[in-house]
Each structure stands twice: as C-alpha cells, then as structure tokens.
Amino acid sequence: MRELYYGEAIREAVRQEMRADERVYVVGEDVGTYGGVYGISKGLFEEFGDKRVKNTPISEISIVGEAIGASLNGLRPVAEMQFSDFITTAMSTLFDAAAPFYFRIGANLPFVLRCPFGGGQRIGPYHSKCPEAWMFHTPGLKIVAPSTPYDAKGLLIAAIRDPDPVIYFEHKKLYYELKGEVPEESYEVPLGKASIVREGSDITIVSYGWMVHLAREAAKLLEKEGISLEIVDLRSLCPLDEETMLASFKKTNKIIFLHEAWLRGGVGAELLSIICEKAFDYLAAPPIRIGAKNTPVPYSPLLEDDYLPSVQDILEAARKLKSA
C-alpha cells in the first residue's frame, strides 16, 4: 500500500464516493475552485463541476439546512464546516431539525457534516475548539473522530453510505503532518467499532483523534519504566463501542480517559460513568481524566501548550495509577 497524508485520505474517500454514486456531492464555504480552507476538496470542482461541488455563503445554518433538504430528496451531501467552532450558528437546525428527524417523521437523513476541530495550530479561541460533547449529548447524531489516514478514509466512506446524519470530526493538526498506509480501493471502517492500537497489561487509556498519538508517545516512554499501557482508540463516539473499552479495562483494572476537549462535561466524564456503572468491582484505583484546561483556547504558543493535554500529563497519570 502507498502512504497518504490524513487530509489526502479524506479527499480520496470523497472523490471515490462521488465517482461511485452520483447522489454524493460536496457543499460548503470555498469548497469549489479554492479547494476548501485546508485544501481537502482541491481538484474536485475541476472533475465534477459546480453542480456537485457547491460553494455557499458564509452561513453555517444554510449549509446544514441544505444538507437536510438535499438528503430528504434522495441526495447524499458531504457538507463542510470550515471550522467546527462555527457549528454553534447552526445548532438549532442540527439539534432541533436533523437529530430528531427520524424519530419524528420516520425518514432518514443521509448526510455527513465534516468538521475540522482541535488546537495546536496557534489560531486561537475561534478556530481551535473541540465541540464534540455537544453532539455526543444529542440523540439522533452519529459521531466519528479518526486518528489515522486509514481510518479517516474508511470511516468517511462508511459515513457517506450511512442512512443517518454523521458528524465527522477531523483533526486539523493531522491533515498534513501524519502519513499512513491507505489502500487504493474503496473500503469501509464500520461505525461503532473501537480499535486496540497498542496492547498492554497495566493501564488502559481510552482516546480518539490527535490524542491517540500523544498516548502512543507516552506508551513508548512508559515502557522504559516498566509500565505497560493499552491504548483504545474509540474511532466512533456514537455509536460507542462500550464492549471493547470494558474488556480492556477488565484486563488492566486501571484506566485513563484522554481527550483534547475541555475536561469539564467532556466525553471522558460519560465514559467514566460507564466504567463505574458496569465494571465498578474491577476498579483497582480511581480512574483519571485528562483534558484541556477550562479556559478559552489561547493564541500564545506557550499558553496553548500549557492549555492542551500533554505527554507529560499522561506520564504523571500512569505513574500515579501504577503506584496505587
């Protein structure tokens, strides 16, 4: 297999699905000749034309509204938010119209909302947030957050083919910094299936997105100290693979939840409650959550590095659990 950047894998997934299914089209701000703010749709306008690669006004509510209307009429839109931060301006349409639509009407809405998310890019509080907990709290939305180019392609293809609204969180830091093996052919990575990306025996760490790579880095350092870290990459937040997470925890009896989003009210809190409700008797030490500090995302590189979870945070948490 050849290697692709994370961003290239996303583009290939969209291109292959557009070639295979004429119902699939791209819609969003500057996705046409400009190719999107991160270049993900570059080349698609030239291949498919303006009817299948559509620019919109700067109006996130209209992007989500079009995705709903188009999917109701038999199309499969792949809509892009330039930055996931601005999904807030479309919340009513997404939460009150799209999410409960099947429950109210009995009709599917097969659209994907691509949402670049996350920090580490030194672009401050308006372009760096991780808003997945808002979606995670809302019934009717599926949520994925790939950490590798392989998963980025496979999960996006699965999301485009899915009959329900899928929020596809892609980390901006990974676009052109991370390469990995990606098959040329079309394939799906099933929604709702986590992956054990590193086996270990002492501590389980559960994560997704960019943070999986911090966990990998920490695991290599901890191995030198005789601490074996097992890494569970959730890949999908909804549907959630509780079975894989619980099985890993029952093996190690100690667990860390790691996400880039704010710690308070984050996905990790829900995962911790699942452990306490369904596997309390297996706990050998109090679970630990690692997340961003409860402040807006700073512009300053020094402040942003302090704000974000770090490898050092993981090392300290693992050492604490090992000695417990």
Show which residues are catalytic: 127
Alpha carbon 74 to its chain centroid, in Å, reads 26
Give the list of residues 6+ apart from residue 242 with CB closer than 8 angstroms, or none: 274, 278
41, 63, 38: which is closest to 113 by C-alpha? 63
How far, in Å, CA of 151 to CA of 9, rounded?
9
- The total of other beta-carbon atoms located within 10 Å of residue 199's CB is 11
Note whether 121 and 128 are within 8 A (CB): yes
Exposure b/e, 298-315, CB count within 10 A at least 16 = b: beeeeebeebbbebebbb
* C-alpha dihedral sign at 160, 195, 176, 289: positive
Answer for the pair 290, 256: CB distance below 8 angstroms, yes or no.
yes
Place of tokens 């938010």: 81
Distance set, CA 101 to CA 80, 166, 213 (Å): 21, 13, 36
Helix boundaries (H) for 141-226 = 149-161, 211-224
- Report the distance separating Cα 219 and Cα 223, nearest Å: 6
Please tell me the distance from the alpha carbon of residue 63 to that of residue 154, in angstroms, as a whole number: 24
